[in-house]
Amino acid sequence: MESLFRCPLCQGPLDRQDGRYLCPKGHSFDRSAAGYVHLLPPNKMHSKDPGDDKGMATARNRFLSADHYRPLCDALSELAVKYAPDTVSILDSGCGEGYYSAAIYKALVQAGKEVKMAGVDLSKHALKRAAKREKAAEFAVASVYDIPVADQSAHIILNCFSPLALEEFQRILKPGGVYFYVVPGEKHLWELKEVLYENPYPNTEKLTPYEGFTYLEVQSVDGTIHLPDQQTISDLFQMTPYFWKTPKSGTEKLAALDTLDTTISFRIHVFRKD
């Protein structure tokens, strides 16, 4: 079956076979037992274990599996169904452990679409879980700044809290293709931040017009979630950038909590490639 991925060595198309991917020039890439493939060239590997580490991937996987972010997932699935043509190729850039990729894939299939779904991430720990979530989708270790996907081959790209690689998204999207960019709203995780910091700052919300793209809509997803135990609070904390920049006093206050109710607030910016 022809893959959405291309050969990282010669840029030729990749054929997805049992246990491996093969290009016409004979470059072969084994799929791991979990089902993902490593397509990051060794000279592009700047660390032995790039991307989210095992602990972070486990925390994200446990938190998302409990459906605390279900409203965002549902909104993304609905948008995907709305914008997808009947036969659709979709890329989740910085897909993490595949919570959104798998749900969007299922929603598109359920809507009667013929779907090619691929995800890339630097973290093999995250991809192990992604590949298990949805066996019909394909997942590769790769950088979002050098995505092993051919020019003008995707109808939809999703970027949910992952690095922004606009030039690559521009290159990969078909003309008229759609880009979903998920960013935090002003009060996202406000009550969590109130525990961590003396003077928390709200996130800045702004429109971000990008050359070569037209704004279609911005969808808001707002709510409150109940974190029922310390494990869940700690899992969420590890998923946030605050994990790396919180003073010890804040971390200790958070570690002493048994439960926490906090605001969630996402903005999905939807663009069409001109």
Ligand X SMILES: C[S@@+](CC[C@H](N)C(=O)[O-])C[C@H]1O[C@@H](n2cnc3c(N)ncnc32)[C@H](O)[C@@H]1O
Nearer to Zn ion, 23 or 144 (CB): 23
Binding mask 165-204 for ligand X (x = CB under 6 A): ----------------------------------------
Indicate whether 242 belongs to the interface with ligand X (CB under 6 A).
no
Interface residue with Zn ion, options 4, 7, 142, 264 (CB under 5 A): 7
Distances 131 to 33, 62, 139 between C-alpha atoms, Å: 10, 15, 6
Locate 184 and state its tokens: 């935090």
CA 115, 118, 122: angle at the middle one, nearest 5? Answer: 170
Strands 154-160 and 213-227: unpaired
Hey, what's the torsion of the CAs at 214, 216, 82, 88, to 10 degrees? 10
Restricted to residues 135-164, the positions that interact with ligand X (CB under 6 A) are 143-145, 160-163
CA 72 to chain CA centroid, nearest Å: 12
Interface residue with Zn ion, options 12, 13, 71, 223 (CB under 5 A): 12
Nearest to 16 by CA among 28, 30, 3: 3
Tokens 């590890």 sit on residue: 238
Q: Which does 51 bind (CB under 5 to 8 A by kind): Zn ion, ligand X, none?
A: ligand X
Q: Which does 126 bind (CB under 5 to 8 A by kind): ligand X, Zn ion, none?
A: ligand X
CA distance 58 to 56: 5
Q: Which does 94 bind (CB under 5 to 8 A by kind): ligand X, Zn ion, none?
A: ligand X
CA distance 181 to 266: 10
Select from 73-81, 122-130, 196-204, 264-272 the region that touches ligand X (CB under 6 A).
122-130
Restricted to residues 23-62, the positions that interact with ligand X (CB under 6 A) are 51-52, 60
Q: Which does 163 bind (CB under 5 to 8 A by kind): ligand X, Zn ion, none?
A: ligand X
Indicate whether 8 belongs to the interface with ligand X (CB under 6 A).
no
Binding site for Zn ion (CB under 5 A): 7, 9-10, 12, 23, 25, 27
